[in-house]
Amino acid sequence: MPIDIDITKVARLARIGLTAEELAHYEEQLQVILEHAARVQALPTEGVAPTAHPLPMVNAFRPDEVEQTLDREEVLSQAPDREGPYFRVPPFLDE
Amino acid sequence: MDPADLTIAEAGARLRSGDLTAVDLLASVRRRASMTEAILHAYLTIDAEGATASAVEADAALQRGDDRGPLHGIPVALKDNMVTRGVETTCSSRILSGYVPPYDATVVERLRAGGAVIVGKTNLDEFAMGSSTENSAYGTTRNPWNPDRVPGGSSGGSAAVVAVGSALGALGSDTGGSIRQPASLCGVVGMKPTYGLVSRYGLIAFASSLDQIGPITRTVDDAVTLFEAIAGHDPSDATSYRGDFPDPRADLGKGVEGLRVGIVSELSGDGIQPGVAAAFQATLDRLAGAGADIREVSLPSTEYALSAYYLIAPAECSANLARFDGVRYGPRIDGATVEAMMSATRRDGFGPEVTRRILLGTYALSAGYYDAFYGQAQKVRTMVSEDFKDAYAEVDVLVTPTSPTTAFAVGERADDPLAMYLSDICTIPSNLSGDPAISVPVGLDDAGLPVGFQVLAPALGEGVMFQVAAAVERLSGFESRPALATSLGAA
Amino acid sequence: MSYEAVIGIETHVELQTASKMFCGCPTDFGAEPNTNVCPVCLGLPGALPVPNERAIEWTVALGIALGCEISQHSVFHRKNYFYADLPKNYQISQFDLPLCVGGHLEVDPGSGVRRVGITRVHLEEDTGKSTHLGGGGRIHDAEGALIDFNRSGIPLLEVVTEPDIRSPEEARAYAQELRAIVLALGISDARLEEGSLRFDANVSLRPEGADELGIKVEVKNMNSLRSLQRALAFEIERQTALLDKGEAIDQETRHWDEEAGRTEPGRSKEESSDYRYFPEPDLVPIQTNPEAVERIRGALPELPALRRARHIALGVEPAAAATMASAGLAAMFDDAVSAGADPRAAANWVTGEITAHLNRTGDDPSDLVMDGRGLAELVGMIGGGELSSTAAKEVLIGVLAGEGSPREVAAAKDLMQISDESAIVSEVDAVIETHPDEVARMKDGDERLAGFLVGQVMKATGGRADPRLVDRLIRERVGL
C-alpha cells in the first residue's frame, strides 16, 4: 500500500530547502522506510498504553533558585551575525 | 609493552607504582594515534594542549597523594557529540562546523573530576545517525581490523581508537546500538547503561528517550570502571535516575554457575551470518560448560521493534535538530528572509541521512499521521518492554549476537537505508525498553573480523550483566588485537 | 440584522519566579540584552530543561482560585514551529494533559454578574524578543531583526476561557478580574506595559438567538485592558459590516494596531496549524497528589471577590471596593482599617488621592512609601480635628514623597490645625472688634454673617484654626 506523503509540505515544516529533484529522491526513500515502519499498525494494540519513557519516573523538578548565567561575549562569539549585544537575523517574512 | 596497549586497570597500577607517568602514557597514546590516524581517521579533534595540561596535573596530583580514583591519569576519548568547553564539538555535522561550546557535558565534568586525561573527540555518523560512521561530514572512519571495512557506528571513532590504543577507553552514545554495534565490529567491549543512569546533559540529543552514554573499553573490568565514573544522578537532567543502583562490580568474578541465560528465538535464526552464528554458539557452549542454564525464550514483539524505532527516533530527532537554524551558532547560509536563511542553512548543513530522518520524523508527527505512526510506535514500545519483563521472569539475562554480521565493506550499504537499519536489529529492543546491554568480543570470523556477543539484563541489572559479560570474556579468552595495533606495538 | 458576539480569551501571564521555567537564569525585567542566558534557554546543543517547582505550584494555585480541577497526571509537550526568537524551534508547552481544567470566573461588567467558563490553565515557556530594524516597524519592511533571549524561558501561564463572553465590556471585566486574582496570589507583577499579561481573543458573530457559531477570527497583540476592549469593539463592528454587506468572514489571525485603532490581517502562517505536538522526552510527567493540592489550597490568600464582599460589608462603596481590588490597593486598605482607620474614609483616600498619585507617577502600589498604618494615621488626624482635609492632601503629598510620617510632615509644614481655644480666642476677639457692623447684623439674626466672621479668623490664622471651634467661639462671643 503506497503511503501518502506530501513531501513538499514535510520539507517546509522541517525548514529544509530542498530542490524538486531532492524532494522526489527523499519521497521515494521515505516510501520504502514508511512501508516497513507501517508494520507497527499490524500489531493489535488495543488497551496498550503508549510508552514515552523507559523509566517510570515522575516529578523531577528544580527549586526556584537563580544560577550562574553565561558570559555574553562567549555566547555571541559563536553567532553567525551579531549587532552589539544582540543576535542579528534577516527580516522575518516576505508575504 | 607499549603503554598504549595497557588496559585502564594495568595502566592505573603502573601510574601508582611509579613505573609510568600520565605524561608518558599520554605521549604513548598520542604516538599511537599519529601512526594510525592516517588510515583510520577516528579522531576529529585532538586536544593536544588540554590533554597535556591534564596529564601534567594528574602527575602532580599523584605526587602529592591526591588520587582521584581509577581514571586518574588515564587517556580517554569522547565521541564528538558530547560538548566540551573551549574544544570544538561538531557531531560530525557541517551545521556545527567550528562550534565551540561554552560548557562541559556532565560526563565530561565527571571524567575531569576523576582525573581522566581527555585526548580528543572522535568521529561518528552525523548526529549519531548511522551504523557505519560513513555519514560523517568529515570523512569515514575505517575498521582497524580491515580498513576496507566500516568500524560500525555511530560511535565508530570511539570503538576504533580503543581497538588500536590511541585511547585506553572512550565514551560513546547508544540510541539503537551505537555503542554496542561498533564495539562488536571493532573487537572491543561496549556497554549501554540502563536509561537514566548516566546524565545526558551536554550530550547533543539524537532521540532523547533512547539516547544513553556508555563506555567503550578493551575489557569488561575497564567498562565497569568507566561506567562507575560517569553514572549517578544529575539534577541537570530531569530524566536522570534518582534512586540507588546496585554495585556493578559486586559479582564480577562470580561466574555463571546456576544463572539462567536466555537465547531469544526471534534474534538467533534468520539473517545471522554463519561466522557470527558459529561464534555465538561456541560461546553458549562455553557458558553451558561453566554451569549456566541455557534456555530459549521468545520476545514476540521484537519483530516490530525496528519499525517502532524508525518512527520514534526520527520523530524525536526532527524536534531535537530544529535548533540548528543559523541564528545563534554554527555556519549560516544567507537568505533574504529569516525563513529562507534557515531553510538554506539546514539544507546545506545536514547530510542525507540526517535530512532523511528529519523528514521521516516530521511526517510521522504531522497532523493526520500521528496516531498511525508515532502513537502506534509508542504502544509497540510498551509491548516490547512487556516482552522483556515476561522473559526476565524466566531468565536472569538474555543473550544475542550483537550484530547479525561482522564489519561490512565501506560503501556496501550506503545507498540502502533499510539494509543499514537492519544492522541494529539485535540492539534496538533494549533502547526501547531502556534496559542495559553490553557487547563483548568472543572471536573472529573466517575473514578475521571480530564477532561480538551481547548480554542484556533488566533495568538496573548492570551487576548481573557485568557478571555474565566478565564470564564470557574469561571463557572466550579473546585477546586478539588488530594487526594495525600489534605491528605498531611491536615496533 | 442584529448579531451576538461570541468571544473567548487566552491570557498569557508571565510568572514572577526568581528563576526561569526550565533553567536557573534570573527573570528580572530590563537586564542588559542577552545576559540572563544559559545553555538551556539559548537552546544550545546538549542542554536539557528541568522544571521550576514553584512555577508548577503557582499554576496549581491559580487553577484552584479559578475553581479548576487539578490534573493528577499532567505532561509537557513540545510544540514545534520555527521562529527566530524561539531558540529550540519548539516551545515546551502543554497539550492534552494540562495542569488545570474546567473552572470558571464570575465577573461583573456593571450590568450584572456573568459566569465565564475556564477551559484550562497550562504552563509553558516564553520566547525571546526580536526588534525589527528599519522600514517603519512593519515586519515585512524591516531590514533585519535583533534578538535578545533574556525573556526566553520565563514561565508563562496560559488561561483559556470558554466562548462565554458576549461583549467588549465583559471581556474587559474578565481580564480585570483575572488580573486582580493574579495580583492577590502574588504570582505575577501583572504589569501590562511590560507585557507580563498579554491577551489574545477569538471573536465570532452569529445572528441574535442562533445556536451555531460563526467563523472565528483570532485577534492578537492586545497589551492593556483598554486595548482589549477597543480591539474587540472594532472587530465586532468590522465583522458586522461585512455580514451586513453579505460578505464572508475570513478565518484568520488579525493583529491589533493600537495607534491606528484597528485590527490588521496577520502574516499568513499556513503551516501554523501543524504544531506536531508530542510528549517532551526530556521531561517526566507531573503527578500532583491530593495532599499537595490541599496544602496549596490552604495557603491561598483571600481572593478578590471575597475581599470585595468583605469590604462592602465594612461600608465601602461597591465601586470603591472593586477599584481597590483591581488596583492592588486592597491590602493597604486592610492594613489601614486594622490600624484603626474608619473604613469609608480610608477607602475614599485610597481610591481618590492615592490612586490619583499612582496614575500621575505611573508607580506600582508596591512602590508606595506610605503603608496602611500611615494611611490610618492620616485618616485619624482628620477625624480628630488635627488636620483639615485640604491640609491633609498636602500632608499626603509630602508623605508619598518620602518626607516622613503624616504627623511629621504636618508638623514640618506647619499644617496642624489649631484646636487650642486659648490660642484662637485673641484672634476671635480681634475680628469681633474690627467688624462691629457685621456683629450687629448677626445679632439681629443674619446667620450668614457667622460664616463670614469665621472666614476672617481663618484668614488671620493662616487657615490653621479648627473652623468648628472658631464658629463656636464666635457664637458665644456674639451671644447667640
Q: Can you give the pLDDT at residue C139?
A: 52
Our CA-based measurement puts residue C47 at a distance from the nearest CA of chain A, in whole angstroms, of: 13
B236 annotated active-site: no
Top residue of A51, A92, A93 to mutate, by most chain C CBs within 10 Å, is: A92
Among candidate residues B352, B318, A38, A7, the one with its CA nearest the CA of residue C275: B318
C124 band by pLDDT with thresholds 50, 70 and 90: very high
pLDDT at C208 over 50: yes
Round to whole Å and give the CA distance between B116 and B101: 20
Cβ-Cβ contacts under 8 Å, A36 against chain B: 306-307, 310, 418
Round to whole Å and give the CA distance between B362 and A11: 8
Bigger pLDDT: C479 vs C349: C349
Cβ-Cβ contacts under 8 Å, B379 against chain C: none
**CB pair distance less than 8 Å for B342 and C82:** yes
The percentage of residues in chain C with a pLDDT greater than 70, rounded to a whole number, is 97
Among candidate residues B348, B24, B33, B310, the one with its CA nearest the CA of residue B160: B33
- Which helix (H) or strand (E) segment holds residue C217: the answer is strand C217-222
- Which helix (H) or strand (E) segment holds residue C475: the answer is helix C467-478
Q: Which of A26, A61, A91 sits opposite B337 (nearest CB)?
A: A91
**CB pair distance less than 8 Å for B360 and A30:** yes
Instruction: Tell whether C88 is within 8 A of chain B (Cβ).
Output: yes
pLDDT at C140 over 80: no
Secondary structure letter of residue B175 according to DSSP: S
Q: Which of A15, A67, A87 sits opposite C147 (nearest CB)?
A: A87
**What domains are there in chain A, each with its CATH number?**
1-43 (1.10.20)
Our CA-based measurement puts residue C194 at a distance from the nearest CA of chain A, in whole angstroms, of: 20
User: How many CB atoms lie under 10 A from the CB of residue C269?
Assistant: 11
Residue of A nearest to C21 (CA): A64
pLDDT digits (tens, 9 = 90+) for C282-298: 999 999 999 999 999 99
Round to whole Å and give the CA distance between B79 and B94: 16
C47 band by pLDDT with thresholds 50, 70 and 90: very high
DSSP strands (E only) in B282-356: 293-297
pLDDT at A93 over 80: no
Instruction: Tell whether C84 is within 8 A of chain A (Cβ).
Output: yes
In total, chain C counts a number of residues equal to 480
User: How many CB atoms lie under 10 A from the CB of residue A1?
Assistant: 5
Q: Grid coordinates in use for B367?
A: 497532523
Residues 6+ apart with CB under 8 A from B178: B124, B125, B128, B131, B153, B154, B155, B172
Q: Can you give the pLDDT at residue B491?
A: 44
Q: Which of B99, B311, B379 sits opposite A37 (nearest CB)?
A: B311
Dmax over Cα atoms in chain A, in whole Å?
A: 58
Residues 6+ apart with CB under 8 A from B434: A53, A54, A55, B194, B195, B196, B385, B459
Q: Which of C43, C147, C276 sits opposite B323 (nearest CB)?
A: C43
Cβ-Cβ contacts under 8 Å, A94 against chain C: 140
Size of interface A-C (CB pairs under 8 A): 131
Round to whole Å and give the CA distance between A67 and C20: 10
pLDDT at C450 over 70: yes
**CB pair distance less than 8 Å for B343 and A39:** no
What is the interface pTM, i.e. ipTM, of the complex? 0.96
Residues 6+ apart with CB under 8 A from B336: A90, A91, A94
Chains with at least 3 CB pairs less than 8 angstroms from chain B: A, C
Top residue of C19, C23, C89, C92 to mutate, by most chain B CBs within 10 Å, is: C89
C110 band by pLDDT with thresholds 50, 70 and 90: confident
Query: SS3 for C369?
Result: coil
Q: What angle do CA B183, B185, B189 make, to 5 degrees?
A: 25
pLDDT digits (tens, 9 = 90+) for C399-431: 999 999 999 998 888 888 777 777 788 888 888
pLDDT at C433 over 70: yes
Q: Which of B322, B332, B366 sits opposite A10 (nearest CB)?
A: B366
Round to whole Å and give the CA distance between B473 and B454: 11
Average pLDDT over residues C179-194: 91
pLDDT digits (tens, 9 = 90+) for B148-200: 999 999 999 999 999 999 999 999 999 999 999 999 999 999 999 999 999 99
Catalytically annotated residue among B79, B166, B192, B423: B79
Instruction: Tell whether A87 is within 8 A of chain C (Cβ).
Output: yes
B121 annotated active-site: no
Q: Grid coordinates in use for B268?
A: 538467533
pLDDT at A94 over 80: no
Cβ-Cβ contacts under 8 Å, C286 against chain A: 58-59
Instruction: Tell whether C145 is within 8 A of chain B (Cβ).
Output: yes
- In this prediction, the residues of chain B whose per-residue pLDDT falls under 70 are 488-491
**CB pair distance less than 8 Å for A13 and C132:** no
B379 annotated active-site: no
**CB pair distance less than 8 Å for C271 and A86:** no
pLDDT at C324 over 80: yes
**Which CATH number among 3.20.20.140, 3.90.1300.10, 3.50.50.60, 3.30.1050.10 corresponds to the domain B3-248+475-490?**
3.90.1300.10
pLDDT digits (tens, 9 = 90+) for C336-362: 999 999 999 999 999 999 999 998 988
Query: SS3 for C270?
Result: helix
**A29-38, B211-220, B469-478, C6-15 — which is least confidently predicted?**
A29-38
**C3-17, C149-163, C361-375 — which is least confidently predicted?**
C361-375
Q: Grid coordinates in use for C451?
A: 460664616
Q: Can you give the pLDDT at residue B75?
A: 98
Q: Which of B207, B238, B374 sits opposite C49 (nearest CB)?
A: B238
A90 band by pLDDT with thresholds 50, 70 and 90: very high
Q: Grid coordinates in use for B229?
A: 565514573
Q: Can you give the pLDDT at residue A1?
A: 59
| Beta-bridge mates of residue B149 | B409
User: How many CB atoms lie under 10 A from the CB of residue C138?
Assistant: 11
Q: Grid coordinates in use for A80?
A: 553567525
Q: What angle do CA B395, B397, B399 make, to 5 degrees?
A: 115
Q: Can you give the pLDDT at residue C414?
A: 81
pLDDT at C137 over 60: no
What dihedral angle (degrees, nearest 10) is formed by the CA atoms of C353, C356, C362, C365? Answer: 40
Round to whole Å and give the CA distance between B31 and B199: 32
Q: Grid coordinates in use for C376?
A: 490610618
Instruction: Tell whether A94 is within 8 A of chain B (Cβ).
Output: yes
Among candidate residues C102, C126, C109, the one with its CA nearest the CA of residue C13: C126
Radius of gyration of chain A (CA): 22
Q: Can you give the pLDDT at residue C272?
A: 53
**CB pair distance less than 8 Å for C276 and B362:** yes
pLDDT at C141 over 60: no
Distances (CA, A) of C462 to B40, C144, C428, C455, C465: 100, 65, 13, 10, 8
Cβ atoms of residues C263 and C219 within 8 Å: yes
Q: Can you give the pLDDT at residue B490?
A: 46
**What domains are there in chain C, each with its CATH number?**
3-292 (no CATH), 302-412 (no CATH), 421-478 (1.10.10.410)
Radius of gyration of chain C (CA): 29
User: How many CB atoms lie under 10 A from the CB of residue C8?
Assistant: 21
pLDDT digits (tens, 9 = 90+) for C245-275: 999 999 999 999 989 999 998 765 544 569 9
Among candidate residues B180, B32, B137, B90, the one with its CA nearest the CA of residue B487: B32
**CB pair distance less than 8 Å for A92 and C84:** yes
Query: SS3 for A1?
Result: coil
C138 band by pLDDT with thresholds 50, 70 and 90: low
Chains with at least 3 CB pairs less than 8 angstroms from chain A: B, C
| For chain B, domain boundaries | 3-248+475-490
C193 band by pLDDT with thresholds 50, 70 and 90: confident
Cβ-Cβ contacts under 8 Å, A75 against chain B: 102, 328
Give chain C's mean pLDDT.
91
Which residue is it, cell 537563580?
A: A66
Catalytically annotated residue among B28, B93, B166, B178: B178
